[in-house]
């Protein structure tokens, strides 16, 4: 796969911004939340976030790109800088909504191929969750990797708007249910709702 300079920059900025947003979110809340950035604990949480949430994001987006390129598409990730700023501000405020950008692809594509491109991201997150799960006996960080990747898969499989789940549902309801049901249920379970 080829990457333009802009795409590499956008991937790096989105990865670092998400690491920062999740690091801020996980940091203990202080009176001003500004002193958290200079703490050793924050730096550790930032690195943990880069390894878990950041890698989950990168794997998700690069899976979309790989499948699109496989189907003859020109595909590139584009960061949404406004949403990245919102994610950082949300992490600082103690909540997080992250929509860092998307892989845009162009060329002739069938409904099935479009569905498989959309499916690739959440399936990559489920695969990464399985890898992190296998590492949980070795590291507490791996538990966070499982959680964040299951949440990414579950959220992205919701059948609304531009989310991957909506594209997959439009293509093939059976495939949608087979991936969405366990992804969403597992995410809800890990959050303590089920």
Q: How far is CA 58 from CA 68, 87, 107, in A?
A: 15, 16, 23
- Rounded Cα distance, 151 and 162, in Å: 17
Catalytic site residue 61?
yes
Over the range 125-138, which residues count as b (16 or more CB within 10 Å of their CB) and which as e? bbebbeebeeeeee
8 Å CB contact between 81 and 87: no
Q: Which of 41, 61, 76, 143 is catalytic?
A: 61
Q: How far is CA 86 from CA 27, 80, 83, 181, in A?
A: 17, 10, 5, 29
DSSP 29: P
Query: Which residue has 């060329």 as its token pair?
Result: 107
8 Å CB contact between 126 and 89: no
Catalytic site residues? 61
């Amino acid at each position: 796969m080829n990457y333009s300079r802009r795409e590499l920059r956008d991937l790096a900025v989105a990865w670092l911004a998400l690491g920062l947003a999740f690091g801020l979110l996980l940091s203990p809340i202080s009176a001003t939340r500004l002193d958290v950035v200079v703490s050793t604990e924050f730096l550790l949480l930032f690195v943990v976030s880069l390894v878990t949430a950041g890698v989950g994001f990168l794997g998700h987006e690069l899976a979309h790109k790989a499948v699109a390129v496989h189907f003859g598409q020109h595909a590139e990730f584009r960061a949404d800088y406004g949403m990245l700023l919102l994610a950082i501000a949300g992490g600082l405020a103690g909540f997080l909504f992250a929509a860092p950008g998307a892989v845009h692809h162009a060329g002739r594509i069938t409904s099935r191929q479009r569905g498989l491109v959309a499916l690739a991201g959440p399936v990559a997150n489920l695969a990464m969750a399985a890898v992190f799960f296998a590492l949980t006996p070795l590291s507490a960080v791996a538990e966070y990797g499982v959680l964040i990747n299951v949440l990414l898969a579950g959220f992205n499989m919701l059948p609304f708007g531009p989310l991957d789940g909506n594209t997959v549902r439009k293509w093939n309801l059976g495939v949608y249910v087979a991936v969405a049901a366990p992804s969403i249920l597992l995410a809800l379970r890990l959050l303590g709702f089920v």
